[in-house]
Amino acid sequence: MSTATGATASDAPVAPATTQGERGIGRRAPGWVIVARKEFSDHLRSVRFPILLIVLGLSAVVPLYFAADAIRSVASQISDPRAIFLALFVLPPSDVPIPPVYGFVGIVAPLLGVAFSFDAINSERSDGTLPRLLSQPIHRDDVITGKFVAGLATIMLVLVSVVLVISGFGIARLGIVPTFGEIERVVVWLLLTIVWVSLWLAFGLLLSVVFRRAATAALAGFGIWLLFQIFGQLLVGLIARVVAPYATAATAQEALSLKALSDTITRFVPLTLYQEGSRVLLNPSETTVSTPATVGQLAQYQQQIPTLLSLDQSLALVMPHVVALVALSAVCFAIAFVVFMRQEVRA
How does pLDDT run across 304-340, given as a tens digit for each residue? 555 778 889 889 989 989 999 999 999 999 999 999 9
- Mean pLDDT for the stretch of residues 5-9: 40
Q: How do residues 48-88 score in pLDDT, each as one tens digit?
A: 888 888 888 887 777 777 766 666 666 555 545 556 788 78
pLDDT value, residue 330: 95
How many Cα neighbours within 13 Å face the side chain of 55?
Answer: 15
Which stretches of the chain are DSSP H helices?
20-23, 31-45, 48-66, 68-77, 87-90, 101-108, 110-115, 122-127, 130-134, 140-173, 180-210, 214-230, 232-243, 252-266, 270-282, 295-302, 311-342
Q: Are 288 and 316 in contact (CB under 8 A)?
A: no
Q: What's the average model confidence in pLDDT over 93-108?
A: 77
The values of phi and psi at residue 2, to 5°, are -85, 150
In angstroms, rounded to a whole number, what is the distance separating the alpha carbons of residues 31 and 22? 10
Buried b (16+ CB within 10 A) or exposed e, 302-317: eeeeeeebeeeebbeb
Q: How far apart are CA 47 and CA 43, in angstroms?
A: 8
Which range among 34-38, 134-138, 140-144 shows the weakest confidence by mean pLDDT?
134-138
- What is the pLDDT of the chain when averaged over all its residues? 77
Question: Please, which pLDDT band fits residue 14 given cuts at 50, 70 and 90?
Answer: very low
Q: Which residue ranges make up each domain of the chain?
A: 27-229
Residue 24 reports pLDDT greater than 90: no
**In this structure, are residues 118 and 346 in contact, taking their beta carbons and an 8 Å threshold?**
no
Cα–Cα separations (whole angstroms), residue 114 to 207, 221, 226? 9, 6, 12
